[in-house]
Structure 1
Amino acid sequence: MSTPRTSSPATRAVAALVATGVVAVLTTACAPDSGAIRTESTGAARNIIVVNGDGMAAAHREAGRLAVAGLDGRLEMDSLPVAGLLTTDSRDPSTLVTDSAAAATAWATGEKTYNGAISVGLDRRPLPIFGVQAKVAGKATGLVTTAQVTDASPAAFFSHTTDRGEQDRIAGQYLDETKPDVILGGGEDWWHPAGVPGTYPDAPAEDPEEASRGTQGDLVDRARQLGYTYAGSAAELQQAAGPKLLGLFANEEMFQQKPEGQGDVYSPVVDLPTMTRKALDTLDDAPNGFFLFVEEEAVDEFAHNNNGPRVLQSMRSLDATVGVLRRYVADHPDTLLVVTGDHECGGLTLESPTVSDDETGDAESSEDGPFTVAGSTQTFVMDWTTTEHTDVPVPVTAEGPGADRFTGEHPNTYVHDVLSEVLTPRS
């Protein structure tokens, strides 16, 4: 039998909040420019921002806190004043453990579905999606991700398909049906016809399997015809002007998710904080506010490879992005900001380097580290128990109008309930 594990401080802290029903109002060690703490629960939100640390649960957040902020510090995402938990199980007939598609569908539609489904129900019929709800309410909309812009999580808010793999079809729906105003991330291969490379060449040395593969024509040209300004590099993004913006900065994901030391790279052409800042600058001019979905995909992808150093690097980028968003919220208090993960990946726990595991059988755990705790001589080990997703709950933190509704434990469909309420409050 495995040695019993103690839960991380982050897990215990969130569990305590849930058990007592207390809204966490954090008053110390906040970043100097983070702005005042707010937990407004009434009225509509002019702006709504949802941040997904794909594959991120409590242990990932705690590992990030130790590595980035230290023993007495706090991540930006953990400095939001409201904390709770979300359960993540799907309704897939073969497993209760969700994938990103079913999890994001729960957020975007309020309905549980099967793994691989993009905002369709168990009967494979399209469900109403929040990206369209926001448009109908007069909001501008946008998505930012380090994955393909047509990957499962953003796709669920802006498209419908029975198979998450139909990414060129998803791109076509963006342009012709749901019309997000800002689209920034990777996945250029799905926007150009097979055999017609775009900014990024086919079969690059770092991943020869990457190549243009679209079946919907040249969707970049179509986007330009529809009024989008297109950017394929950091310089082009800096110069680009809205109100409609499409930026694709990699063939596929904006990183190489390989085992440690085997070509794993996290060095995006444009990093997530920069893309997010550009999205905010573009959407800020919308007369009725906006809905923005922001995602750090690399946490999940590197967790699948039990790649601790790259997970920590991804967490650093994600938290810097939340810092960008918190500074925006400080100047725009009518904005709801929600930060969570769609599921846990890797079965991660944190241990002391002195712990001696005695796991037996065919599925021994994989360990990374030791890693240094920022500002101290202490170290910790990241202990992985699987290379797949798990069904443990994920923390959610929030601030702004409606944020206090996230206190307690809720199913992931509850995210849609809150977003809908603050979009169009009932009188």
Structure 2
Amino acid sequence: MMRALILVAAAVLAGCATRPPSSVAEAPPKNIIVMISDGAGYAALRATRLWAGKPLAVEDPAFLHAPMAVTQLSTRNQPVPAPEGLAQDPELVFTPGRACDATPVPGETPALYGLNMRYPNGFQGYVWNRRTAPDSANTMSALMTGVRSYTNAINVDGTGAPLRTLAQAAAASGRAVGVVTTASISDATPAAGAGAHAPSRAMRAEIAAQMFGNGRAVVIAGAGNPDWTNDATPAARPTYAWIGRETWQALKAGLPVPPANVRWTLIEEAEPVRAMAAGAEPVPERLAVVAKAVEGTQQYRGGLGPSTDPPFATPLLAAQPALADMAVAALRRLEREPGGFFLVIEESNTDRASHANNLGRVIEARLAFEAAIERVVAHLGPRMAETLLVVTSDHDHLLTGPEGARVAFQPVEDRGAGVLPGHRWLGNGHSNLPVPLFVRGPGAKRLLAATDGGPVADGRAPVPPAACPVTGPVLDQAAVGRALLALVDAPRR
């Protein structure tokens, strides 16, 4: 069995290493922006479009589109030595036949995380997608390193060995590095995006110390504030779950953070971020925005649980900076560097709300993400010609139309603009369904060749209403990561 797994791994990696054809050769981008709407698959996009009553920002003709598979190496949650640690589990590899299998399956499956809920099994495709679902740590790490890994891994391979990241490559190429999120700063997606390394995403304090102390990033923005609750009220006592005591005290005092001994300007208020985004205030040399929330901005206000409330039923907190403002403030600092920049922007709340089976909050978060896309493009203006913009998700959630338990992969139902679409959640965990990838700018066609050895996507496919059925080429997340690294490493004229 072990020999078979090793042979499968070798075959998969050999296929992933297929070089893009010469027909997609392009000049490398000066700037690279990767925008992640965490957990937002095709169903979440459709629900947002229907509620808003208009096309999404990513449906602008300037973007090319293709679906992307999010296969992980293993469902283990810790590293093991080679060769087992590097072997691809063949049961996890995406194929349309597995993912979209419409064979009925009776019975129910329990909710995750100890919740007292159950969901219909529905169909074999649902069962497979739940069972093989990756997490944000290994999916974002695959995109940032070009290598698949196990559940919880932050930029390490299956043995726990550190991998070269896009943030490292960008800094080595003379590009400035930044990461912006609505999650806690040391959560999985921003941690991987900033180039941290950890065998487990649970090592949050250590990850935050790396992010602030290794001297790589010049902008880090998000939540994780030990001194505040998620409702922007002072905490009874500090919570150092996301940023450790020593790191936080250094940031607050303006002291150097080891080992690179870099000093940060800490901003906790929303208004200075808005002013920097508007150009009314200068952006400091090293900007740390740690909003007044411990787990994430906006999403947990007033609590978060299963709900059919419409978007914005609970008013937004004015004390929290908008994702778009944090993104543009980051750009105003990064664009000062003559060598260009690499920026990761994450809207985490699409994922948190999906775990809670709360479609209204999913739509809220995706609208904030759409606003950030529009602001980024507008701010860069003519400089978009030298900027590769990648807009995608790290993984999906199993969201269907209202009859999805008996109609396989039924799209969410249009009930008119401003009305919550008809829908049904078929789980409260992740899914292994492919996610949409939208790209524009120099290097876009290189990414559309990252199909794990299969045919090359042409980028003109319309955005489907649901992830299944799958037609046409499907990109591979790790192969897209390798293509991004190749673009960063490519000589610039």
What TM-score results when the alignment is normalised by the length of structure 2?
Answer: 0.68
Note closer, same or farther for the CA distance 1:357–1:334 as it changes in structure 2 (3 Å cut): closer
* Superposed displacement of residue 406, structure 1: 3.5
1:121 aligned to 2:157? yes
- 2:56 matches 1:51: no
Kindly state the Cα deviation for residue 145 of structure 1 after the two structures are TM-superposed.
0.4
* 3-state secondary structure, aligned to 1:66: helix
Q: Structure 1 pair 335/205, CA: closer, same or farther in 2 (3 Å)?
A: closer
Q: Cα distance, 1:208 vs. partner?
A: 7.9
Do the aligned residues in 1 keep the contact of 2:254 with 2:264 (CA within 8 Å)? yes
- AA aligned to 1:162 is P
AA partner of residue 417 (structure 2) = V
Aligned amino acid, residue 412 of structure 1 = Q
Matches within 5 A, 1:135-214: 135-157=171-193, 158-189=195-226, 197=227, 200=228, 211-213=239-241, 214=244
Cα distance between partner residues in 1 of 2:182 and 2:362: 13
The equivalent of 2:467 in structure 1 is none
Partner SS for 1:165 = coil
Q: Deviations over 1:40-88 (max 9, x none)?
A: 95112111000000001111111111122x2xx3210222421111101
Of residues 412-421 and 137-146 in structure 1, the stretch that sits farther from structure 2 once superposed is 412-421
Identity, in percent, stands at: 26
Q: CA deviation at 1:240?
A: 5.5
Would you say how many aligned residue pairs link Structure 1 and Structure 2? 366
Structure 1 residues 266 and 359: CA distance shift in structure 2, 3 A:
farther
Amino acid at match of 1:113: S
Q: 1:82-93 counterparts in 2 under 5 A?
A: 82-93=64-75
C-alpha distance in structure 2 between counterparts of 1:178 and 1:101, whole Å: 22
Change (3 A) 1:45 1:201: same
CA offset at residue 382 of structure 1? 2.2
Partner residue of 1:258?
304
Q: CA deviation at 1:235?
A: 2.5
Relative to structure 1, is the Cα distance of residues 241 and 135 closer, same or farther in structure 2, using a 3 angstrom cutoff? Answer: same
For 1:97, which of 133, 137, 142 is the aligned residue?
A: 133
Q: CA deviation at 1:205?
A: 7.1
Deviates more, 1:412-421 or 1:140-149: 412-421
Unaligned runs of 5+ in 2: 1-23, 77-130, 257-261, 276-280, 449-456, 458-473
* In 2: Cα distance, 1:297 partner to 1:274 partner: 16
SS at match of 2:214: helix
Corresponding residue for residue 443 of structure 2:
402
CA distance in 1, matches of 2:153, 2:211: 17
TM-aligned CA distance change 1:417 to 1:146, over 3 Å: same
2:289 alignment partner in structure 1: 247
Give the alignment's TM-score, normalised by structure 1: 0.77
Are the aligned partners of 1:266 and 1:313 in contact in 2 as well (CA < 8 Å)? no
Structure 1 position 77 matched with structure 2 position 58: yes
Change (3 A) 1:177 1:293: same
1:323–1:205 distance in 2 versus 1, CA, 3 Å: closer
CA distance in 1, matches of 2:388, 2:272: 30
| Change in CA separation of 1:89 and 1:210 when aligned onto 2, cut-off 3 Å | farther
Assess if the C-alpha contact under 8 Å between 2:412 and 2:421 holds in 1: no
**SS of 2:390 mapped into structure 1:** strand
Q: CA RMSD in A?
A: 3.2
Of the three residues 336, 345, 361, the one matched with 2:388 is 336
Q: Residue 60 of structure 1 contacts residue 348 of structure 1 at CA under 8 Å; is this kept in 2?
A: yes
**Given the alignment, which residue of 356, 376, 381 partners 1:325?**
376
Gaps of 5+ in 1: 1-39, 190-196
Of 268, 272, 276, 2:323 maps to 272
User: Hey, what's the Cα distance between the residues in 2 that align with 1:393 and 1:78?
Assistant: 18
